[in-house]
Chains A and B, each alone.
Chain A
């Protein structure tokens, strides 16, 4: 069986593209494919990752310009057709700007850029990206962002909760939701959410930086395994 092609989108200013490319390449059965932001075809990819960084310099708002780039028209079409799309960090911001995920990501409540190891709790395993985790499992990813404060109106937050679409939450080492464990002020400690159909996942922390014990954690491998299986 030939390897499943997974697209890694590059905008000017994306800077985690190589990490994501390597994460996909390290996942069994997958073959990463670069997708340049000006492209209008998806080159036959079966899954797509929007990597972290500062697409278009975060001008206006993080993700606001990227959202209207030529490739995004195809990404939106792909997501709406049910194809698996993973947005990490800046990729999550782009997905909310594109309307593929609800809410918005604002400046961190503490104003500072936060870069640290972070405990997360997997609160939904009902997505292709988290099916390899146990419900309530604690994982350790890196966060590195200045605008990760997730906001949405109460009605949207309630709906996300009821529908089990809050996939990752910031927690302390005991798995408890505390203000101290929240790096950016996100509503209800939300770190990652999924679309209604569960084929789109956006999260601020970096599974792509948790692919090997050499760098402290391999907890991110399951996200990429799930993505590749959903794409196959």
Chain B
């Protein structure tokens, strides 16, 4: 099985996100109203070959903990889409 993986990484709730704050002000400056809680995160995509769904999930979770996210300050989630080929 080949799977397309999408990993989302974002600062944890309650962590100040100065980049998001700045964007929020910029959006307000453009005239958009009612904008709140803008957060900037990362979206990482890749393809994984081999292994069943469970094995890939386990592997991706490990990748997130070891490298893709810093769990002191960030939370992550991911999605798998099987190619089926």
Contact = CB atoms under 8 A, between A and B. Distances in A.
B84 to A, nearest CB: 30
Interface of A: 60-61, 64, 68, 96-97, 102-104, 106-111, 149, 151-152, 185
Interface of B: 11, 15-19, 21-22, 42, 67-68, 70, 72-73
A151 B68 CA distance: 19
| Nearest 4 interchain pairs by C-beta | A104-B72, A111-B18, A104-B73, A107-B18
13 contacts: A60-B42, A60-B68, A61-B70, A64-B67, A103-B72, A104-B70, A104-B72, A107-B19, A111-B18, A111-B19, A149-B16, A151-B15, A152-B72
Contacts of A60: 42, 67-68
Interface centre among B67, B68, B72 (most CB of A within 10 A): B72
B74 to A, nearest CB: 8
Contacts of A151: 15, 72-73
A129 to B, nearest CB: 24
A149 B15 CA distance: 11
Name the prevailing secondary structure of the B interface residues. Answer: mixed
Contact of B18 (A102, A103, A108): A108
A16 B18 CA distance: 27
A109 B72 contact: no
Contacts of B70: 61, 64, 97, 104
Contacts of B11: 106
Contacts of A149: 16
B5 to A, nearest CB: 16
Contacts of A104: 70, 72-73
A55 to B, nearest CB: 15
Contact of A109 (B16, B42, B73): B16
Contacts of B18: 107-111
A102 B71 CA distance: 12
Nearest to B16: A109
B11, B17, B19, B67 pick with most chain A CB within 10 angstroms: B67
B57 to A, nearest CB: 21
A97 B22 CA distance: 26
Nearest to A151: B73
A184 B68 CA distance: 24
Nearest to A184: B18
A153 to B, nearest CB: 8
Contacts of A68: 67
Contacts of B42: 60
A109 to B, nearest CB: 6
Contacts of A103: 72
A158 to B, nearest CB: 16
A109 B70 CA distance: 18
Most buried by A among B17, B18, B19, B21: B18
Contacts of A97: 70
Nearest to A156: B72
Q: Which of A96, A106, A149, A152 has the most CB of B within 10 A?
A: A106
